[in-house]
Each structure stands twice: as C-alpha cells, then as structure tokens.
C-alpha cells in the first residue's frame, strides 16, 4: 500500500481540527493509502515542534515554503489566516502537490480566479474546507430535494449567525482587516452561500445591504487606542436562483446567544425542510397535508454516520464532519469519485460573495 504524505500549515484551532481528522480517518474508514503525517509548519518554531510531537507528525518546519518543498509531502493542508491562502496554495500547486485549503478560498475574487486556473492547468487535486456539506443530514437533504420530495423548490431562507464579535470592546484582530479576512460575509456567509448552491443550485442575481455596526475597536485588549474597522459586521441579501426559486441570506457575527447558527428553510410546492447546525444531527420536515413538522434523526443508514456510531440518535460532532471531509479529500487524491467543493466551486462561492459586496455598495441588483 503506497503512502500519502500529509503536510499541515498552521497550528491554531483549525490546524488542530485537521490534525485530529488526519489521525482519526484511518480508524473510521478503510483507506486505499497509508497516511504518513509528514510535517507541520508554524512561524513559531517552538510551537511547530510542540505540535508535531503532540499530533504525531514526523517533523516540524518554521517556514511554510520548506514544508511545500518537503519531498515527503504529497498533500498540503492550509489552515492559516485567509490572506495567506493565496501564496501558499499557489506555491503548492507549482510544486505539483494536492491542496486542501480552508475557506474562504482567498481574500479577493482575482486571487480565487488565479488559484482555480493554476490548479486546472497543473491538474492537481484541490479541496476547500466547507466541511458542513459533509454532514450526512445535509447529504440526505440534498438527495430529498434532488428526487423531488419537496416538489418544485420555490424559496430558500438562510442564516449564519454567531456572537463571537458581539462585544464592541473586543480588540481588533486580523478578522477586522479587509485584506486579511473580509468580515462576516466571508467568514460565516461563505459557508451559507456554498450550502445554498449545494442544495438549491446556481444563483443568478443578488441584491444586498451590508453594515459595520462597530466602526472602531480597541487596538489591543483594554487599550484606549482605537482602530478603524472596514469590514461588515452583518450582511443581508436577496437571492434569485436560476431554477426560479427566491431566497434570503443573512450573516452576522454580532447576534447574542448564537454560537453556530448555520440554518436554512427550503420550501417547495410539496413541503418544507429545516436545518440548524446547532442541532446538526436532525432535519425538520413538513410535507403537504402533514399539518406540522416531523423530526428526522441521523442514523447508521446514512452514508458516513455508521463509521462513527452504530445507532441513531448518538450524535456526530464537528470533528466527525472534519474527518468525513478528510476522507473525501483522500478519496480524491487517490482518483476515486469524492464529494466536496474544489477550487472551481470555491471560486463560484467567491464570485457570489463579490457580487453581494457590489450589490451592497451600489445599492442595486447585480446579475452574475
């Protein structure tokens, strides 16, 4: 059995999530390759060494370029702040490595376009970390819609809200810099846009409004110095789908009480389907004449679920979704059909987010 060498760039929350997934996937699934946890990279050399030891990677680099050129690395996993995705992915593509990049793909549509074209020309495998699409319940929802259980789809109402930036006294961070992040629309909304496309299809036109509620934040914790904020705290949009459905979109990182409220209601001529990521193991379904919603629980009959639990109602979590995503990445790297957005699809999401920004700035409908 040949080896697939894994190189992981970044050791924050998302880096750890990737490391857990790469460690767990071999226990959950029969793989066509043997994973070799080859290297971890972090700008802090001591941190890189510590994480390599703790997470089971063979070596540590404090220069991400050394990791990309490491001959034992076949797949480069990028979990850094958003503005670093472009140079790292482009270098990995140039080196002929497969690339597994966190979302959003880039901080501009131009960068995303260059990344997907470079990957297409090089013929390398790419995947982007829209991990919620690997939830077995979301796969079920897509199948139900596809086979017409809801009839003709007429509306999509989607929201992704959290409250981690709700306190106006929270200090400035890289997420507040347009060139590094992109605000609530990019950080949260990109997940929702990817999900809308996955479930309902192409979006042909948007109209939007965007707002920076807290225009300044302390430069550092408890500092009297203030820094200007130029990214959105919340964005709302109207969507027109190519299949005739209409939709609403909302993303905010200011809504008190919400921790991971990635949610949607999809209505068709024969029924309505509801989902909330804070209750990620269930769907709510109401079919015509039913009189109310029934709860559908995740169970081992759904692909992917049985790898972690033999019984319904025992719950998957965030790290299991990441493991399912990594499994799909490995399948793609070994030439097998595999679900999940690649750089081409992630570019479509960035294209949609860019249109929403233009619509908000110019206060008009924008056609894609």
SS3 73: coil
* Planar angle of CA 161, 162, 163, nearest 5 degrees: 135
- Domain hosting residue 274, numbered range: 132-310+336-367
Give residues with Cβ within 8 angstroms of 325, minimum separation 6.
21, 127, 129, 131, 134, 340
In the chain, what is the greatest distance between 2 CA atoms, to the nearest angstrom? 62
Cα separation of 99 and 124, whole Å?
8
Cα separation of 343 and 117, whole Å?
9
**Averaged pLDDT for residues 159-166:** 97
- Domain match, 41 and 159 both: no
Q: Please give the structure tokens belonging to residue 137.
A: 């319940």
Predicted local confidence at residue 278, as pLDDT: 97
**Averaged pLDDT for residues 350-361:** 97
* Planar angle of CA 299, 300, 301, nearest 5 degrees: 95
Which one of 108, 131, 154 terminates a domain?
A: 131
Q: pLDDT band at residue 179, thresholds of 50, 70 and 90?
A: confident
Which one of 75, 97, 131 terminates a domain?
A: 131
| Listed residue (87, 92, 368, 105) closest to 239, CA to CA | 368
Predicted local confidence at residue 81, as pLDDT: 93
Q: pLDDT band at residue 180, thresholds of 50, 70 and 90?
A: confident
Predicted local confidence at residue 178, as pLDDT: 84
Q: Which of 133-142, 172-181, 209-218 has the lowest mean pLDDT?
A: 172-181
Residue 100, domain member (yes or no): yes
pLDDT per residue over 231-244, tens digit each?
A: 999 999 999 999 99
- Domain match, 122 and 176 both: no
Q: Is the pLDDT of residue 1 over 90?
A: no
- Domain match, 248 and 351 both: yes
pLDDT per residue over 2-48, tens digit each?
A: 999 999 999 999 999 999 999 999 999 999 999 999 999 999 999 99
Length of the chain as a residue count: 368
Predicted local confidence at residue 111, as pLDDT: 97
**Averaged pLDDT for residues 285-301:** 96
Predicted local confidence at residue 177, as pLDDT: 86
- Domain match, 138 and 245 both: yes
Instruction: Please spell the DSSP secondary structure of 319-358, one letter per residue.
Output: HHHHHHHHHHHHHHHTT----S--HHHHHHHHHHHHHHHH
- Domain match, 69 and 205 both: no
Predicted local confidence at residue 311, as pLDDT: 95
- Domain match, 154 and 263 both: yes
pLDDT per residue over 44-77, tens digit each?
A: 999 999 999 999 999 999 999 999 999 999 999 9
pLDDT per residue over 297-308, tens digit each?
A: 999 999 999 999
- Domain match, 143 and 72 both: no
**Averaged pLDDT for residues 281-294:** 96
Predicted local confidence at residue 181, as pLDDT: 72
**Averaged pLDDT for residues 340-347:** 97
Q: How far is CA 76 from CA 7, 266, 341, 345, in A?
A: 5, 36, 16, 19
Cα separation of 149 and 117, whole Å?
37
Which one of 131, 155, 179 terminates a domain?
A: 131
What rounded mean pLDDT belongs to the chain?
Answer: 96
Alpha helix segments (H runs only) across the chain:
13-28, 45-55, 64-69, 85-94, 109-122, 136-146, 183-184, 190-199, 318-333, 343-362
Is 1:34 a contact under the CB 8 Å cutoff? yes
Predicted local confidence at residue 290, as pLDDT: 93
Predicted local confidence at residue 182, as pLDDT: 79
Residue 160: give its domain's CATH number: 3.30.360.10
Residue 327, domain member (yes or no): no
């Amino acid at each position: 059995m040949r080896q697939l060498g894994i190189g992981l760039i970044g050791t924050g929350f998302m880096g750890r999530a990737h490391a857990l997934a790469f460690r767990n996937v071999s226990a959950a699934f029969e793989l066509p390759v043997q994973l070799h946890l080859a290297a971890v990279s972090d700008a802090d050399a001591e941190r890189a060494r510590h994480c390599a030891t703790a997470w089971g990677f063979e070596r540590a680099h404090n220069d991400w370029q050394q990791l990309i050129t490491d001959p034992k690395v076949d797949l480069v996993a990028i979990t850094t702040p958003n503005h670093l995705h472009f140079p790292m992915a482009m270098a990995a593509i140039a080196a002929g490595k497969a690339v597994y990049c966190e979302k959003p793909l880039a901080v501009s549509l131009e960068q995303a376009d260059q990344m997907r074209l470079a990957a297409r020309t090089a013929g390398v495998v790419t995947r982007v970390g829209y991990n919620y699409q690997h939830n077995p319940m979301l796969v079920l929802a897509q199948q139900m819609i596809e086979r017409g259980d809801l009839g003709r789809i007429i509306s999509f109402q989607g929201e992704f809200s959290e409250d981690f930036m709700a306190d106006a006294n929270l200090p400035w961070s890289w997420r507040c810099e347009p060139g590094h992040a992109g605000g609530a629309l990019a950080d949260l909304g990109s997940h929702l846009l990817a999900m809308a496309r996955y479930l309902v299809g192409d979006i042909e036109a948007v109209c939007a409004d965007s707002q920076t509620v807290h225009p300044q934040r302390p430069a550092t914790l408890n500092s009297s110095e203030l820094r200007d904020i130029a990214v959105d705290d919340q964005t709302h949009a109207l969507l027109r789908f190519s299949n005739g459905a209409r939709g609403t979109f909302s993303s905010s990182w200011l809504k008190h009480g919400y921790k991971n409220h990635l949610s949607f209601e999809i209505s068709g001529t024969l029924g309505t389907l509801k989902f909330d990521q804070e209750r990620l193991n269930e769907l709510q379904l109401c079919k015509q004449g039913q009189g109310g919603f029934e709860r559908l629980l995740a169970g081992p009959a759904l692909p992917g679920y049985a790898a972690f639990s033999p019984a319904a109602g025992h719950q998957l979590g965030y790290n299991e979704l990441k493991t399912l995503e990594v499994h799909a990445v490995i399948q793609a790297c070994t030439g097998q059909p595999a679900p999940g957005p690649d750089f081409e699809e992630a570019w479509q999401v960035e294209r949609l987010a860019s249109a929403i920004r233009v619509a908000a700035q110019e206060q008009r409908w924008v056609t894609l």
